[in-house]
């Protein structure tokens, strides 16, 4: 048997390039987490760049002055929202932690009532199976309650670390300032220190990523922000008219987070909430939540075609797999990061994917 050394060398190189690319993406995410303030500053600078250009073109001001004016306005808005948000979140999280045992007891009683109303003998379900089902439900409620306690405790600890938050926010704002005012200087420095071929390839990949991933994230963030604001306003209205909505900001954040996940939507959180409210006897709140969900769905259906100009071109099953993989690797946050990694991989290996991964690696 004749061994084609050239073919084996070519395949080995392709596999090594693929492995190194995946390792590079993994390390990039690690570095992104480590330098999170600068990443946030970079994203915000991209988002406000159109505003800076608008002010610069419509006035006789220099780009630097235009950037400073836009940054001052946005800084005032962001700091005001941060102060209000942190204050309300601390208050609501503290109240929810104190009342959590009461809600768990209500959930236990509701499930117990449902189980008692089911005629297991008529259904011919053995007592052993009934006990397993009942114990599984208790374990599920216990797991959910522990997860909520741990999440709220962690958030409380994070929110109360004011000096650390102030340092991160300060670094982030300074970085935004330099990225907006000295953008051209930074690009010149990159071109000066890096080889021309690197600059071309890096610039090409960055432009493609900003076009695909950046456009997708910007569109999704806009839609999620719309859902969050609509749900927050609706929940505060419910609270003011006397409905049993004790934690509107926390609930709106939860709805916004679920709405940010691909495939899932705000209904994943709001429909079960309405069902639980209805089974506990609060029909008014259940109807109000369903009406709010319908309004949010209609607004999203009208806004989505105008905000999202293109689709990510990935089948939902692969998006679901990426969400599950992200969840297993880094937890709940991974459900949001997984699809982003999938889009990046699709963008980087677009040529390989179009040809076929196996063919691209093993064809002669």
Q: Say how far residue 118 (Cα) sits from the centre of its chain.
A: 40
Model confidence band, residue 8 (pLDDT cutoffs 50, 70, 90): confident
> Which pTM value belongs to this model?
0.64
DSSP state of 135: H
User: Given this model, what pLDDT does residue 361 score?
Assistant: 62
User: Given this model, what pLDDT does residue 41 score?
Assistant: 84
- What is the pLDDT averaged over residues 236-258? 85
Here the tokens at position 295 are 């309004």
Q: Report the mean per-residue pLDDT for the chain.
A: 75
User: Given this model, what pLDDT does residue 363 score?
Assistant: 63
User: Given this model, what pLDDT does residue 356 score?
Assistant: 61
- Burial tier of 293 (Cβ tally within 10 Å: 0-12, 13-18, 19+): buried
Here the tokens at position 346 are 């699709």
Q: What is the pLDDT of residues 38-50, one digit of tens each?
A: 888 887 887 788 8
| pLDDT of 120 over the 60 cut | no
User: Given this model, what pLDDT does residue 213 score?
Assistant: 67
**DSSP string covering 177-213, please?**
HHHHHSHHHHHHHHHHHS-HHHHHHHHHHHHHHIIII
* CA–CA distance, 113 with 349 (Å, rounded to integer): 54
| pLDDT of 310 over the 60 cut | no
Q: What is the pLDDT of residues 136-192, one digit of tens each?
A: 766 766 676 677 777 667 766 666 666 777 788 788 888 888 888 777 777 777 676
Q: What is the pLDDT of residues 55-100, one digit of tens each?
A: 888 887 887 888 888 888 888 888 888 788 878 877 777 777 776 6
Beta carbons of 327 and 334 less than 8 angstroms apart: yes
Model confidence band, residue 226 (pLDDT cutoffs 50, 70, 90): confident
Here the tokens at position 130 are 């009934």
Q: Give Cβ neighbours of residue 343 (< 8 Å, ≥ 6 apart).
A: 212, 213, 216, 312, 314
* CA–CA distance, 63 with 69 (Å, rounded to integer): 10
| pLDDT of 124 over the 80 cut | no
Closest by Cα among 68, 70, 66 to 57: 66
**Percentage of the chain with pLDDT > 90?**
1
* CA–CA distance, 348 with 21 (Å, rounded to integer): 9
Model confidence band, residue 334 (pLDDT cutoffs 50, 70, 90): confident
| pLDDT of 348 over the 80 cut | no
Model confidence band, residue 198 (pLDDT cutoffs 50, 70, 90): low
* CA–CA distance, 52 with 68 (Å, rounded to integer): 9
User: Given this model, what pLDDT does residue 357 score?
Assistant: 59
* CA–CA distance, 112 with 183 (Å, rounded to integer): 62
Residue with tokens 């609509």: 230
| pLDDT of 302 over the 80 cut | no
Closest by Cα among 347, 337, 298 to 220: 337
Closest by Cα among 229, 247, 226, 225 to 238: 247
Kindly give the interhelix angle for 283-307 and 215-240, rounded to the nearest 10 degrees: 150
Model confidence band, residue 305 (pLDDT cutoffs 50, 70, 90): low
Task: Determine the length of the chain.
Answer: 364
Here the tokens at position 232 are 């927050």
User: Given this model, what pLDDT does residue 114 score?
Assistant: 65
* CA–CA distance, 348 with 351 (Å, rounded to integer): 8
| pLDDT of 248 over the 80 cut | yes
| pLDDT of 123 over the 80 cut | no
* CA–CA distance, 323 with 336 (Å, rounded to integer): 7
Here the tokens at position 117 are 């109303």
């Amino acid at each position: 048997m004749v061994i084609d050394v050239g073919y084996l060398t070519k395949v080995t190189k392709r596999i090594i390039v693929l492995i190194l690319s995946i390792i590079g993406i993994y390390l990039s995410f690690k570095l992104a987490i480590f330098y999170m303030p600068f990443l946030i500053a970079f994203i915000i600078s991209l988002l406000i760049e159109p505003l800076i250009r608008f002010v610069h073109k419509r006035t006789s001001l220099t780009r630097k002055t235009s950037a400073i004016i836009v940054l001052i306005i946005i800084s005032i808005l962001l700091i005001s929202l941060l102060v209000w948000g942190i204050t309300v979140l601390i208050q609501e999280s503290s109240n929810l932690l104190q009342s959590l045992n009461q809600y768990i007891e209500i959930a236990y009683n509701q499930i117990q009532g449902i189980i008692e109303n089911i005629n297991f003998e008529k259904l011919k379900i053995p007592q052993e199976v009934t006990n397993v089902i009942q114990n599984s439900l208790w374990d599920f409620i216990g797991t959910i309650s522990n997860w909520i306690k741990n999440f709220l405790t962690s958030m409380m600890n994070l929110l109360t670390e004011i000096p650390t938050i102030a340092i991160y926010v300060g670094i982030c704002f300074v970085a935004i300032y330099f990225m907006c005012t000295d953008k051209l200087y930074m690009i010149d420095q990159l071109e000066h220190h890096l080889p021309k071929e690197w600059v071309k390839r890096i610039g090409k990949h960055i432009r493609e990523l900003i076009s695909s991933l950046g456009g997708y994230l910007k569109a999704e963030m806009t839609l999620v922000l719309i859902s969050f604001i609509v749900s927050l306003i609706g929940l505060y209205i419910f609270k003011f008219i006397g409905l049993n909505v004790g934690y509107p900001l926390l609930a709106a954040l939860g709805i916004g987070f679920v709405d940010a996940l691909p495939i899932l939507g705000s209904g994943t959180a709001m429909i079960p909430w309405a069902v639980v409210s209805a089974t506990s006897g609060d029909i008014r709140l259940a109807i109000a939540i369903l009406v709010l969900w319908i309004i949010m769905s209609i607004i999203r259906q009208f806004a989505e075609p105008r905000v999202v100009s293109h689709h990510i071109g990935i089948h939902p099953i692969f998006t679901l797999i990426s969400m599950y993989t992200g969840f297993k690797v880094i937890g709940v946050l991974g459900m949001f990061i997984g699809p982003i990694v999938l889009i990046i991989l699709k963008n980087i290996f677009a040529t390989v994917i179009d040809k076929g991964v196996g063919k691209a690696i093993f064809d002669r």
